[in-house]
């Protein structure tokens, strides 16, 4: 890995491994689902692949499926993964832990509005626009704290896509044209002086 420029922070964006409900494509959101056995194996492979990286810090969503991955990244050498609440997944409100087909049956009008407009939110939940509004400033602050360093952020589909859209100058709608696999790794370089970034790697996965 090449050297990080003095005012640039290298952000390793890591999606958690497979969690209970992912295989059925459920809207997990803020549901605190654990990793599956497969997800644990993915997390172990990911941690091993990242072992040689010079991580200055590891930040994680508070949800256990992300924290489990972050803890594996942190040890050894006995570092602590720091919880950042703003890295949590999009809140799906009434749709939490349901599949799209179930929501289509129960609330087709709300689903159609949500899929048409990124400013629309599930009942009692959070829109993509709202996710970007909380995630991007929080990560910009972390990047400024770690200028010239490499840090890992263990999070979820929504926050990671929001950051990639911000780096690429895409509107939030761009998130719906991306796919992120469980335990996928993306890499961006964030320039705190300009507030701009570069996407260096997208959705890389370890063999499994």
Q: Are 173 and 146 in contact (CB under 8 A)?
A: no
Closest by CA position to 106, among listed 32, 97, 176: 97
Closest by CA position to 29, among listed 103, 106, 107: 103
16 belongs to the catalytic site: yes
The answer to whether the peptide bond before residue 76 is cis (omega within 30 degrees of 0) is yes
With a CB cutoff of 8 Å and minimum separation 6, the contacts of 95 are 27, 29, 103, 107, 122, 123, 125
146 belongs to the catalytic site: no
Closest by CA position to 160, among listed 86, 98, 99, 93: 86
Transcribe 120-149 into DSSP letters. Answer: ---TTS--HHHHHHHHHHHHHHHHHHTTTS
Residue tagged active-site, from 18, 89, 126, 189: 89
Phi, psi of 175 (to 5 degrees): -60, -30
Residue tagged active-site, from 16, 98, 146, 156: 16
Indicate which residues carry an active-site annotation. Answer: 16, 89
């Amino acid at each position: 890995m090449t050297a990080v420029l003095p005012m640039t922070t290298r952000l390793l964006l890591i999606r958690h491994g497979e969690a209970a409900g992912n295989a059925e494509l459920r809207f997990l959101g803020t549901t605190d689902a654990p990793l599956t056995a497969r997800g644990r194996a993915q997390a172990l492979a990911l941690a091993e692949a990242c072992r040689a990286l010079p991580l200055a810090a590891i930040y994680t969503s508070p949800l256990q499926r992300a924290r489990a991955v972050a803890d594996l990244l942190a040890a050894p050498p006995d570092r602590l993964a720091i919880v950042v609440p703003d890295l949590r997944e999009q809140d799906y409100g009434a749709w939490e832990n349901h599949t799209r087909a179930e929501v289509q049956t129960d609330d087709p009008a709300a689903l159609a509005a949500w899929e048409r407009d990124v400013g629309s939110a599930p009942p009692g939940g959070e829109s993509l626009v709202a996710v970007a509004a909380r995630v991007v400033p929080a990560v910009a602050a972390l990047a400024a704290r770690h200028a010239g360093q490499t840090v890992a952020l263990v999070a979820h589909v929504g926050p990671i896509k929001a950051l990639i859209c911000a780096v690429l100058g895409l509107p939030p709608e761009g998130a719906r044209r991306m796919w992120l696999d469980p335990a996928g790794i993306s890499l961006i370089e964030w320039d705190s002086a300009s507030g701009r970034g570069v996407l260096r790697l997208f959705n890389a996965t370890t063999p499994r």
